[in-house]
Structure 1
Amino acid sequence: MLPSLTWPALLGVAAAVAIDRRAPAILPTEDDLTAANYSSYAPIQVQCPKRDQWVRSAGGLSNEESLWVEGRKPKVLEGLTSYLERLNLSDFDLETYLTRLQENKANVPTLGMAISGGAWSSALTGTGALRAIDDRFSPAVEQQVPTYNIGGSWPVMGLVTYNFPTIDAMIHAWHVDISRGTATTDTVHAATIQTMLEQIAPKHEAGYDLSYMDLLGRIFAYEFVAGPNGGMATTLSGVADLSNFREHNMPLPLWQAPQLVASDTSFYGIRVPADNAAIYEWTPFEIGSWTGPEEFFPTKYLGMKMVDGLPVDGCVVNYDKASFMLGMAADAWNFWLIEAYSNNTLGSFAKRATEPPQPKRSLSKRDGPPLSLLNGIASLFQQAYSLSVNAALYVSIPNPFATSTSTPNSTIVPTNLTLVDESEMLQAIPLWGLSQPARGVDFILAWDSDGDAAPYSWNNGTSLHGTYLYAQAHGVPFPIVPSPATFINRNYTTRPTFFGCDANLTMTNNTQAPIILYMGNAPYSAYTNYSAFQSSFSDENMAVILTNAFNQLSQGNGTLDAEWPECLGCAVVERSLAKVGMRRSEQCERCFGRYCWDGRSDDGAPGFVDPALVLDPSFSFEEWNRTGPQGGEFWAEV
């Protein structure tokens, strides 16, 4: 149950102090600010720097990202060279390939990784996948697994705000044994609900919209964001100033979320995103959308009022708190409420039933938090900030792309953007940003641990299929992806599967689409289908999670297929071969015959996804539950 909290200090300050929300007569410059200014959760009004343009068209990458990618290519080539030299590639002229990449580094493959949503379960199993492909982890080097650029999810925020440490060091810094939603005496690595509500109060007092996700973002931050007090002073744009980012030693992080608009369908007065909703993305450089407004704006200045591309009332910094941006990507409060109000018959996430024809909104779903907890937090927001459920329900940010009727022929765009969890669009794996032609990504590892398949919370490919349908609707090159029923019936839920190897099995019938390796979290050496909101994990928990992910990425340390490392290498280089005037080797043809989707579908009614351990089928799920390491439940403890 929610702790019984009292608010004399917080409410007393709010009642006794008249909040002056007017801008000061003379705004400070950014150079005037000190570390103390950033230690508050409140955004800071500053004088606007000189810029030729605040809002740019989404016609390509920003100058900042283009230059960063250009600087990243030599580092990728260095790692790719070491990786390919360790492989036993037959009938492949590696020397010629590497020489031609060296001559024109623009042809170096652009590689991505996308980790699905799914709260702590996906965050930690996805972290295991990161570790398995990190060449700083010695077994990964021995198993010849490459290092990728990365996009998506909670662990990525940890990876970049901690300045790209080794995965083991990052997990140690997270203190995963602590349940962050529980009132605790550990004031270094966690905080009480009361403390976190007091932390976010200055943002409300400064006149900015506050939502329940500000609070959840602070809970997440005490684990996944670097810096004192749960990364209170850490901003997303500040990542661009970290040494490993400046020196191109870490991947470019990317998050995304769909937009709600006034015309969206609602249940119980609560809106849900349309299937064709605009998807917004944000990096340390920019926030914006390739659909919808098709415009981008500097992340650093998010929070300021803009009309027709120009600032109103000065500029704002410190709005893009890493914790808030993390909470913004996980804003599912609307679905949780709908689910609770409807007695679990509405508000389903991308955990879909798979009996064909597959409905867009089925009744099978990941469990959300209980109504008592949702109502408890709503009551606290009402007491502390006088905010009703409707006022605090959604993440709402000042819209930098707002327009007014003063501009001839302009379309009226809302003054605020309302963003929600991408699971609500059946796209829990953040693939949309990585799939944009402007980024030219050649290969993506899509790690899925979203618990699509009821009742055991394994996966069925729903999110990959959902992005394919969205890409098809928007005309963006993407591999053709079959139905979730096919994933189950053809066993793509437990074995690695490539999509897009054959250019004829892409939407555009050419190599513009990336090759995507789908890896759904599966039981190789351990059953890791944890509840999404199990938030505390023992050292033993983490050991089995990391080992299981390594066994999956390495295919049982090579015991399931000794040639798997070479097959993975074939997919990594495939899209770049034509660019350097080379052809696929016979070895790669054999590999693609084994691991690439062949275009066949099986939409027959599938059974439950209930796999045995791949490396030890005799060890049952029931036995694991009886004897395996267990952890605490977040919602039960809060």
Structure 2
Amino acid sequence: MLTGTGFIKQMSDWKLFDSLTYVSGLSGGSWILMDLITHDFEVDLMLTDWNLDDGLLQGIPDFVVRQKDLVSGIEESDLTEEALLKRDWSGFDNEEFREFREILDMEVALFDEETNDEGLGKRSLNPLLRLRQLLFDDDDEVEEPLKGSLKDKNDTAQIKSWKSVKRIIQFYIDLHMEVRPKKMKGFPVSFTDYLGKAFIRNLGSNVTNMLNGSSFSRLFRESKSFKDFKAPIPIVVANCKNERLKNVIFEFTPFEFGSWNPLLRLFVKLEYLGSRIRSGIAERCVKNFDDVGFITATSSSIFNNALIYIWNMTAKSSRETVKAIKTIMGLFGLEMAGTDSNDVRSSTLDQIKADYAVYHPNPFFNYPGVDSILTTNDHLYLVDGGEDGENIPLRPLLIPERKVDVVLILDSSSDNQNFPDGRKLKNVMNQLNPEKAWSFPELEFPLEHPLAFGCFDKDHPLLLYFSNGQHSYRSNTSTFKIVYDESEIGRMLMNGREVFSSDFDEHHRNCLGCLLIKRTLDRSAYLSEPSFCRDCYDEYCF
């Protein structure tokens, strides 16, 4: 989000943002779209309301994912046990609070009773006791066994950090109460619903009050910039996970929701998403399902991978630990499908459904003449747009009906030391043309200037590829670094500006102009390419 925001701000300074017809985003890019929508596409106001010096989800520290790309699953991190326990926790109402504490108390006792290992038998190391301490003990009380385990200042600091638990609990209670009305209306909820509410909360109280419960489509109906045709059409991209599908993308625009994929190629008016439509006939109409936070969280639910990672870790723990964590997940709405009640370990990650965003009813259910995986299930399961390794939201812009001339691509992938190396663009191109293995030039990253692909293929858009790299600041921060101070924000934004401007190089700026007008020149029977532009094409085009 920070790199892309700097990129857009520099586009705006060079008077190019106003020329955009579309702007697509997924994952952190969808946060940019939410920011633009929130501020009626006033680029100068971007980031003015985000509380980036506070964690997105209370009680969860930053952590770094190493080596493995998020899209292939999280296998390594520096999560501590304390962070692990905090991460598997949500807010409950009073009745659920009491129920959960009673269950947890019993599990603590069972753990100690059944553990024969002397080390594990120590109450100070009982993970369930620590979870109970974290969530339920009074601020000024610490049980004697835990006090006895204090050995250094770090432990003392940990005790002090537990004193803020009431604030953390209240945060999750508030989220729970905000999500509950959707559940009470009969719609399934998932972790993504909570994440969406957290996004809105992170925008500050003024924006939160304006956006909470606001539908995506209604915001555009009320947008002055959009009604005056002064704003690009935003496209939020998400991946479908029905029946283990791969690289089947759905899109949200102010007008419609659906997919261009041959399995569907259908759309429904976004305003009526959530309505019960069977066989193309509306049976019950619903509005306001298209909550702007929920849609943003759907596209950027890579944080759900952290949840899966935690489930993997806890599944390696004792049977009682698994049962206790499963209780938390159940109360949070993350129920396990197909679990054998006699064996809590029988659940597999493939059976987890509620960590996906659930779109029910499926508006395309039993649509006449379309018999596919996407029409035979009354639920659509959507996840982060980059979940399948296709985390550049390019395909929606290459639809021939959109008649795009040039696409500016910003790649902020974490391929190599959290910088991109071009493989994600290759992934997309291979999806577009699976019959032909798409070659990528051998280049040094970061690039000195953007690459232009398809310069001389007049029937398709020209693709101008920018990659995140270190210019004035090391911008390869972890996806899970969700706290930034003012200095870090300023440097990340400046580096994003420099990615677009190639360090404010005037030659690059002029060549960029040549690339942006190339399709216009190609279509003209009267205009010829300036010699300067021909030199730029030799330099930039692959």
Q: Please give the TM-score of this superposition, normalised by the length of structure 1.
A: 0.58
> Secondary structure of 2:433's match?
helix
Q: CA deviation at 1:544?
A: 0.8
**1:553 alignment counterpart:** 500
Structure 2 CA distance for partners of 1:515 and 1:191, relative to 1, 3 Å: farther
- Structure 2: 5+ residue runs without aligned partners? 61-163, 314-320, 338-351
Residue 321 (structure 1) aligns with: 291
1:165 to 32, 42, 53: 42
Determine the structure 2 residue equivalent to 1:594: 539
Aligned counterparts of 2:17 and 2:289: Cα–Cα separation in 1: 38
CA–CA separation in structure 2 for the residues paired with 1:325 and 1:255: 8
> How far is the alpha carbon of 1:588 from its aligned partner?
1.1
Cα distance in 2, alignment partners of residues 374 and 154 from structure 1: 34
Question: Equivalent residue of 2:401, what SS?
Answer: coil
Residue 224 of structure 1: CA displacement?
5.2
- 2:2, 2:492 within 8 Å by CA — same for their partners in 1? yes
Partner of residue 251, structure 2: 281
Contact 1:157 1:253 in 2 (8 A): no
Give the aligned partner of residue 531 of structure 1: 478
SS of aligned partner of 2:496? helix
2:229 match: 248
Q: How does 1:169-248 map to 2 (within 5 A)?
A: 169-182=45-58, 192-223=171-202, 227-229=207-209, 231-241=211-221, 242-248=223-229
Q: Does 1:495 align with 2:442?
A: no
Amino acid in the other structure paired with 2:444: N
Q: Distance in 2 between matches of 1:573 and 1:375?
A: 61
After superposition, the C-alpha distances for 1:261-315 in whole angstroms (9 at most, x for unaligned) are: 22x2xxxxxxxx42xx421111010001111211111011101111111112x20
State the partner residue of 2:32: 155
Deviation at residue 341 of structure 1 after TM alignment: 6.2
Give the SS at the match of 2:463: strand
Counterpart amino acid of 2:269? P
Q: Is the 8 A contact 1:132 1:550 kept in 2?
A: yes
Residue 338 of structure 1 and its aligned partner are, at CA, apart by 5.5
Structure 1 residue 420 displacement after superposition:
1.7
The answer to whether the 8 A contact 2:471-2:495 is kept is: yes
* TM-superposed deviation, 1:336: 4.3
Aligned with 1:572 (options 509, 516, 530): 516
RMSD: 3.1
Structure 1 residues 493 and 544, CA gap change in structure 2 (3 angstroms) = same
Q: Which residue of 1 aligns with 2:395?
A: 432
The DSSP-based 3-state class of the residue aligned with 1:173 is: coil
Tell me if the contact between 2:398 and 2:461 (Cα under 8 Å) persists in the aligned partners.
yes
Give SS of 1:444's match: strand
Name the structure 1 match of 2:79: none
Bigger fraction of residues in helix: 2
Provide the C-alpha distance between the structure 1 equivalents of 2:439 and 2:54, rounded to a whole number of angstroms.
40
> 1:295 and 2:266 equivalent?
yes
Q: CA deviation at 1:377?
A: 8.4
Paired residues of 1:495 and 1:519 also in contact (CA < 8 A): no
1:428 Cα offset (Å): 0.6
Aligned length: 403
> Could you say which residue in structure 2 is the equivalent of 1:67?
none
Structure 2 match to 1:124: 2
- Report if aligned partners of 2:264, 2:370 keep a CA contact under 8 Å in 1: no
Residue 331 of structure 2 corresponds to which residue in structure 1? 383
Following TM superposition, by how much is the alpha carbon of 1:165 offset from its aligned partner in structure 2, in angstroms? 2.0
Could you give the per-residue CA deviations for residues 382-411 of structure 1, whole angstroms, max 9, x where no partner exists?
22558447352221212111117xx68956
Secondary structure in 1 matching 2:482: coil
Residue among 344, 355, 361 paired with 1:393: 355
* Alpha carbons of structure 1 residues 413 and 216: separation in structure 2 relative to 1, 3 Å: same
Structure 1 pair 216/176, CA: closer, same or farther in 2 (3 Å)?
Answer: same
C-alpha separation between the residues in 2 aligned to 1:311 and 1:385? 28
For residues 421 and 41 of structure 2, the distance between their equivalents in structure 1, rounded to whole angstroms, comes to 31
Name the CA shift for 1:209/1:333 in 2 (closer, same or farther; >3 Å).
farther
1:238: Cα distance to partner? Answer: 1.4
Q: Which residue, 409, 423, 436 being the options, matches 2:386?
A: 423
Q: Is the 8 A contact 1:332 1:421 kept in 2?
A: yes
Name whichever of 123-132 and 158-167 sits farther off.
158-167
Instruction: Tell me, yes or no, if the aligned pair for 1:133 and 1:147 is still in contact at 8 Å.
Output: no
Q: CA separation of 1:204/1:284 partners in 2, compared to 1, >3 Å: closer, same or farther?
A: same
Matches within 5 A, 1:478-489: 482-483=439-440, 486=441, 489=442
1:552/1:322 CA distance change after superposition, 3 Å: same
Partner of 2:459: 512
Aligned-residue offset at 1:422: 2.5
Counterpart among 454, 468, 487 of residue 540 in structure 1: 487
2:141 equivalent in structure 1: none
User: Which amino acid in the other structure matches residue 209 of structure 1?
Assistant: P
